[in-house]
A = this chain, B = another copy of it.
Amino acid sequence: MKKTTIVLFSGDYDKAMAAYIIANGAAAYDHEVTIFHTFWGLNALRKEENVLTKKGFLEKMFGSLMPRSVKKMGLSKMNFAGMGPKMIKHVMKKHNALPPEQLIQMAQEQGVKLVACTMTMDLLGLQKEELLEGIEYGGVAAYLADAENGNVNLFI
């Protein structure tokens, strides 16, 4: 079986979109697909609503400064203080392109393995209750075990 793995490191709306489009494409072509969400990419797996948790000061600060869910992310280019994402969302709607939050759901339905990097969760103080249901948890060892047999391994 062909294998595709993606490290989603970036916390940008457009890069997350690219990651999920490639993942869904690969799953449609019967690849076994893993997306390993690390650093800012982990924010794509956050629930939209604010989940109350006990946290230290810095962890609270990170939590509130970082976007909750992919919907709230900015663009890697032409962000224009938030105007860019609005423009992109507008043209996406016009062209019937799926927004990333729906691409994530489609990925889960297609059996794409969504992994949250536990080291990043520790560092940024993100807790399981704040993340989407149905995802897995792992570290760099889990990623490498998937990637070393992968045909397509990308870092986004």
A9 to B76, CA, bound (A): 10
Q: How far is the CB of A95 from chain B (nearest CB, A)?
A: 5
A29 to B140, CA, bound (A): 11
A66 to B2, CA, bound (A): 36
Q: Which of A15, A31, A152, A153 has the most CB of B within 10 A?
A: A152
Tally of A interface residues using CB under 8 Å: 53
Query: In chain A, residues 115-156, which have Cβ atoms closer than 8 Å to a Cβ of chain B?
Result: 119, 122-125, 140-141, 143-144, 147-156
A150 to B140, CA, bound (A): 18
Q: How far is the CB of A15 from chain B (nearest CB, A)?
A: 7
Partner of A154, one of B29, B151, B155: B155
Residues of chain B lying within 8 A (CB to CB) of residue A125: 91
Partner of A148, one of B18, B144, B152: B152
Q: How far is the CB of A86 from chain B (nearest CB, A)?
A: 10
Q: How far is the CB of A34 from chain B (nearest CB, A)?
A: 12
